[in-house]
Homo-oligomer: A and B are copies of this chain.
Amino acid sequence: MTSQSAPRTARDFARIELTRAILEAARRHLAEVGPGELSVRSIARDLGMASSAVYRYFPSRDHLITALLVQCYDESAALVEAADAAVRPDRLRQRWIAMTLALRAWALDNQHEYALLYGSPVPGYAAPQDTVGPATRVPQALLQLMADAEEAGTVLGAPTAPLSRKERAALAPISASVGRPISDERVLRSLTGWALLIGGLSLELFGHLNRGVLDYDLNFRCLVEQAADDFGL
């Protein structure tokens, strides 16, 4: 780890402070240039230090990106969770709408960050273990919504052919992560919802709707409303 517990000495304090400053500058750059062109050198210039000094705090550009990844996952997930919590728990449909709109709002405000999280992986980059926790917060929130829907006894929209044993087995780790009983059909529904959400946002933000859809806000709203219908919310 980079910082051990408390800043005992002045040096410790300076270290965590500079680490924060570097990350902050990186994030500031990310607002303008996109993940692929994030440059350690320009960040260092921005902070008035030699580029080699940055490597005292982040051993490589990838480590810096990992830190940004975690920060952005957490930031967006916090917004989604907050939007969820702001709605009465039994208003299931409204919660779904609120969560999806929250993620879209964040994505629109932080397009390069969205690309970092859900776009193509950065060049030679393989996400380390640190990111998986934060990365699962949003899909977990969707899962919890579905579990609530199951407890409330809502019926799924369209009739679905029952899943085979093998199909159920493939979803086992997810079902187990919910922490309470949930049918495999609902687990699958949350996956669908997640895929639809990310797909819709990616198509919009990566420019695939350019010629075609005129009103992006309205289009996204239609998408999630229709999904709510399908999910029986």
Contacts and interface: CB of A to CB of B under 8 A. Distances in A.
Interface of A: 33-37, 115-116, 118-124, 127, 132, 135-136, 139, 157-161, 163, 166-167, 169-174, 177, 188-189, 191-192, 194-200, 202-203, 206-208, 210-215, 218-219, 221-223, 225-227, 229-230, 232
A34 B160 contact: no
Contacts of A35: 120
Contacts of A158: 157-158, 226, 229-230, 232
Contact of A214 (B132, B139, B161, B172): B172
A58 to B, nearest CB: 20
Given A160-B229, A173-B212, 18 more contacts: A34-B123, A34-B124, A36-B36, A36-B123, A115-B120, A118-B202, A118-B208, A120-B120, A135-B208, A157-B230, A158-B229, A166-B218, A169-B214, A191-B213, A192-B196, A194-B203, A195-B223, A196-B196
Contacts of A194: 199, 203
A58 B218 CA distance: 40
Given A158-B158, A196-B195, A202-B198, A188 B222 contact: yes
A108 B74 CA distance: 30
Contact of A223 (B123, B192, B211): B192
B163 A222 contact: yes
A29 to B, nearest CB: 13
Chain A residues touching B, majority SS: helix
Given A195-B200, A199-B194, A127 B232 contact: no
Given A36-B36, A203-B195, A223-B195, A215 B170 contact: yes
